[in-house]
Amino acid sequence: MRVKDGNWFTEVCDEAGSAFSLRVTKKLHTERSRYQTIEVYATSHFGNLLVLDGFVMLSARDNFVYHEMMSHPAMYTHPHPKRVLVIGGGDCGCLGEVLKHSEVIAAELVELDERVTRVSERFFPELCAANDDPRASLHFTDGVEWVARADPDAYDVIIVDSTDPIGQTARLFQAPFYVSCRRALGDAGVLIVQSESPLIHTELIHSIRAEMGNAGFQRMSTLYFPQCTYPSGWWSATLAGGQRAHTEFREPQAREKSFATRYYNADIHRAALAQPNFMQAL
Amino acid sequence: MRVKDGNWFTEVCDEAGSAFSLRVTKKLHTERSRYQTIEVYATSHFGNLLVLDGFVMLSARDNFVYHEMMSHPAMYTHPHPKRVLVIGGGDCGCLGEVLKHSEVIAAELVELDERVTRVSERFFPELCAANDDPRASLHFTDGVEWVARADPDAYDVIIVDSTDPIGQTARLFQAPFYVSCRRALGDAGVLIVQSESPLIHTELIHSIRAEMGNAGFQRMSTLYFPQCTYPSGWWSATLAGGQRAHTEFREPQAREKSFATRYYNADIHRAALAQPNFMQAL
> Mean pLDDT over residues A90-101, rounded?
98
Q: Which residues of B touch A44 (CB under 8 A)?
A: 17
CB–CB of B18 and A20 under 8 A?
A: yes
* pLDDT of A5 above 90: no
Topology, domain A63-280: Rossmann fold (3.40.50)
| Interval A168-220: pLDDT, tens | 888 898 889 999 999 999 888 999 999 999 999 999 999 999 999 999 999 99
**pLDDT at position A3, please?**
45
* pLDDT of A91 above 60: yes
**pLDDT at position B2, please?**
43
**pLDDT at position B164, please?**
85
**pLDDT at position B58, please?**
98
Residues 190-209 on A with a CB inside 8 Å of B are 198-199
CA distance A9 to chain B (A): 9
Axis crossing angle, helix B175-185 with helix B202-214, rounded to the nearest 10: 50
Q: Does any CB of chain A come closer than 8 Å to the CB of residue B278?
A: yes
Using an 8 Å Cβ cutoff, are B92 and B127 in contact? yes
By CA distance, what is A229's nearest residue in B?
B232
**pLDDT at position B243, please?**
76
Inter-CA distances, A52 with A33, A131, A141, B62, Å = 10, 21, 18, 28
What is the spatial distance between Cα B204 and Cα B193, in angstroms, rounded to a whole number? 12
By CA distance, what is A235's nearest residue in B?
B226
CB–CB of A18 and B22 under 8 A?
A: yes
**pLDDT at position B41, please?**
98
Q: Name the CATH superfamily, with its identifier, for domain B8-59.
A: Spermidine synthase, tetramerisation domain (2.30.140.10)
Query: Sign of the CA dihedral A266, A267, A270, A272?
Result: negative
What is the spatial distance between Cα A248 and Cα A250, in angstroms, rounded to a whole number? 7
The pLDDT profile of chain B, 282 residues, written as one tens digit per residue, is: 344 556 999 999 999 999 999 999 999 999 999 999 999 999 999 999 999 999 999 999 999 999 999 999 999 999 999 999 999 999 999 999 999 999 999 999 999 999 999 999 999 999 999 999 999 999 999 999 999 999 999 999 999 999 888 888 888 988 899 999 999 998 889 999 999 999 999 999 999 999 999 999 999 999 999 999 999 999 999 999 987 777 889 999 999 999 999 999 999 999 999 999 999 876
Q: Output DSSP code: residue B34.
A: S
Question: Strands (DSSP E) along chain B, which ranges?
Answer: 8-13, 18-32, 37-43, 48-52, 55-59, 83-88, 106-110, 136-139, 157-161, 190-194, 219-226, 234-241
Q: How confident is the model at residue A1 (pLDDT cuts 50, 70, 90)?
A: very low
**Measured between CB atoms, which of B22, B263, B278 is closest to A278?**
B263
Using an 8 Å Cβ cutoff, are A160 and A194 in contact? yes
Partnered with residue B153 across adjacent β-strands are none
By CA distance, what is B233's nearest residue in A?
A233
| Interval A149-166: pLDDT, tens | 999 999 999 999 998 888
H helix intervals, chain B: 63-77, 93-98, 114-123, 143-149, 175-185, 202-214, 251-255, 266-272, 277-280
* pLDDT of A268 above 50: yes
| Interval A47-89: pLDDT, tens | 999 999 999 999 999 999 999 999 999 999 999 999 999 999 9
pTM reported for the whole predicted model: 0.96
What is the spatial distance between Cα B181 and Cα B191, in angstroms, rounded to a whole number? 7
CB–CB of A43 and B267 under 8 A?
A: no
Residues 80-109 on A with a CB inside 8 Å of B are none
**Which of A156, A153, A173 shows the shortest CA–CA distance to A164?**
A173
CA distance B89 to chain A (A): 23
**Does B8-59 match B63-280 in CATH topology?**
no
Choosing from A62, A91, A156, A161, the catalytic residue is A161
> Mean pLDDT over residues A241-260, rounded?
90
**Which of A241, A248, A193, A188 shows the shortest CA–CA distance to A213?**
A241
The domain locations on chain B are 8-59, 63-280
